[in-house]
Structure 1
Amino acid sequence: MIDSRRDKYLHSIPGLPGVAGVLVSNERDLVFTSNRGEKTVGVFPFGREEKLEKVRVGGFPNGLAFDPSRNTLLAANVSKQDDPNPITVSMVETKKKFLTADIIVPGRTRWTVFDSKMDRFYVNVSKPPQIVAIESKDPYGITTSFEIPATGPHGLDIDSENRRLFCACDQGGLFTIDLQSGRVSRVSDLSGPPDVIFYNSRLHHLYVAIGEPGVIHVFDTDTMKLVQTVKTELGAHTIAYNPETDKVYAFTPASHRAAIYKDV
């Protein structure tokens, strides 16, 4: 845990086996974790990790997205290699702490986002390469999908104002998806396979983390042009973003640090 006001390491939170992802809801003052090592998601109030509760889900959870209006958490699951069971996304009611639905998807999931204007979740599927949509108010199947013409849709974020998704693919391409027309456009090449991406709606910047060679690409989303490449460290594919301070945190596995960058 890092204090983002002072940019200071505080402590680690135990009891989260194989934790793969963390999501913070400012609306509900909650923290969610995807605990891949035990097929659970964790839920606790911000700053009160001793109140941690867990809900078992239908796979090994990875990406997380949250609908604060319905207290619904989506956990995008992955499976072990050669596992014959179908891959699912799990819907969790976070107030009462129970699994409400387990929806079969076409393949291995990656990241996911919630669209508050459409009350929909969008989930990246690596293979076959596509993005699937699931209704938050009726989460019992796939509503629609967008075919992505590149291998391995991975990082995903949303520009709610302009009604589009940003999708970064393992093949090394960045795509936009127009949510009104359904048009999919390749807008840029990337210097390597991406992982986490974040959209800064205030500065109109998109941050794309790439573990090899170890950089963060910064795109101007008005023009979709690459405006900066920030060197991090080999293997640094995980980032966090604070929209209140315009700071990006890159977690560097070799040096065991969090490198902090301020966008201006």
Structure 2
Amino acid sequence: MSRRLHWLSVGAMALGACSLSTVALAQNPYKIVDHWKIGGEGGWDYLKVDSAAHLLYITHGPAVEVVSTETGKVIHTITGLKGTHGVAFDANGKYGYISDGGANEVVVFDRHSFEKVAEIPAGTNPDGITYDPSTNTVWAFNGRSRNATVIDVASQKVIGTVALPGKPEFPQADGKGNVYDNIEDKNEVVRIDAKTLKVTAEWPLAGCDSPSGMAIDIEHHRLFSVCDGKKMAVVDTESGKVLATPAIGDGPDAASYDPTLELAFSSNGDGTLTVVDAKGDSYGVLQTLPTQHGARTMTYDPIAKRAYLVTAEFGPMPAAVPGQTGHRRPPVIPGSFTVIVVGRE
């Protein structure tokens, strides 16, 4: 795999008027620093890093693999699941929450023993999941029933269901009483009041189709939604206005944000990681790093300054079946599932 770096210095750099994030990346751009072979079979979805515990949680078919970010080794596998999508954490380091789309439930586990402690019914196919610290609740966004299940962390009980205007994708909470979510089939973002459990705004994402992954810059009131058509929509969370649509790679599914470097990231299925300058108003692309085909989901550790992406090797695309609809996918080669570690060292 080529590790050649593609990164762009804006014209202002030559004049000495570049942003701090541009300077930081120019001095130390991102690169692939390691590959961790996880193996196993089947598909995967989102990842979640626990920076303090040095652990990476990977949803992998009917299981969640817990990987040490210090050794790259699997230290535990949470099994007995059906079709995992995402992981969220509570605020005090005690519990984790898995959206098990195949079982239509959220599975609660102990973050020290990794044992399951509760199975909470959700809507149909819970997918994106997030924790809101302002209300101490977990939000599971149900792709097929088009609603969100809200769980009280203190009681581990469902306290409400929020109807949504379309198919939800990845959510984010600002910790100030608002939860945001991409609505994939309507090309928009919704804002939800975390206390009243009501949708308070629907914002169209002009020029951004099928938004999936989302990251948030809480301090500067920005959302970063990655979309088909090789675009990232930068949205003002106060006005709902799309401020910019920087170019990213093809087939994105996850976004992340580094609040100290003020960088936004998009992991793309075409085998690239896009790094966007989120300082100021230009939102220029600073770097396009080749990764590996299919590496379209990721998580980012803002403490270690590392991104973790996952993909595998694929077999030939199956032949089309007359009358069959939906996307065809090539088979995953067993044992090839891998974590790609991207850093600045």
TM (norm. structure 1) is 0.91
Quote the offset at 1:66 in angstroms.
0.7
Give the number of equivalent residue pairs: 255
Hey, what does 1:83 align to over in structure 2?
none
Hey, what does 1:221 align to over in structure 2?
278
* One-letter amino acid matched to 1:132: V
Quote the offset at 1:101 in angstroms.
1.3
Hey, what does 1:243 align to over in structure 2?
302
Paired residues for 1:109-258 under 5 Å: 109-117=168-176, 119-139=177-197, 141-149=198-206, 150-211=208-269, 213-222=270-279, 223-254=282-313, 255-258=336-339
Is 1:259 the counterpart of 2:317? The answer is no
* One-letter amino acid matched to 1:261: V
Quote the offset at 1:239 in angstroms.
0.8
Distance 2:160 2:272 in 1: 38
Quote the offset at 1:181 in angstroms.
2.8
TM (norm. structure 2) is 0.70
* One-letter amino acid matched to 1:147: P
Quote the offset at 1:263 in angstroms.
3.3
Alpha carbons of 1:102 and 1:26: their partners in 2 closer, same or farther (altered >3 Å)? closer
Q: Is the 8 A contact 2:126 2:143 kept in 1?
A: yes
- Point out where structure 2 has 5 or more consecutive residues left out of the alignment: 1-65, 314-335
Q: Is the 8 A contact 1:27 1:68 kept in 2?
A: no
Q: Is the 8 A contact 1:54 1:97 kept in 2?
A: no
Hey, what does 2:56 align to over in structure 1?
none
The alignment partner of 2:115 has SS state of helix
User: Which is richer in strand?
Assistant: 1
Quote the offset at 1:26 in angstroms.
4.9
Distance 1:127 1:2 in 2: 34
Q: Is the 8 A contact 1:106 1:127 kept in 2?
A: no
Aligned-pair Cα RMSD in Å:
1.6
Quote the offset at 1:23 in angstroms.
2.2
Distance 1:32 1:155 in 2: 19
Is 1:97 the counterpart of 2:156? The answer is yes
The sequence identity of aligned pairs, in percent, is 27
Quote the offset at 1:59 in angstroms.
1.7
Alpha carbons of 1:225 and 1:231: their partners in 2 closer, same or farther (altered >3 Å)? same
Q: Is the 8 A contact 2:90 2:153 kept in 1?
A: no
Is 1:70 the counterpart of 2:127? The answer is no
Paired residues for 1:76-95 under 5 Å: 76-79=141-144, 86-95=145-154
Is 1:108 the counterpart of 2:173? The answer is no
Q: Is the deviation greater in 3-12 or in 54-63?
A: 3-12
Quote the offset at 1:28 in angstroms.
4.0
Quote the offset at 1:54 in angstroms.
1.3
* Bigger Rg, structure 1 or 2: 2
Quote the offset at 1:25 in angstroms.
3.7
Moved over 4 A (4+): none
Quote the offset at 1:124 in angstroms.
0.5
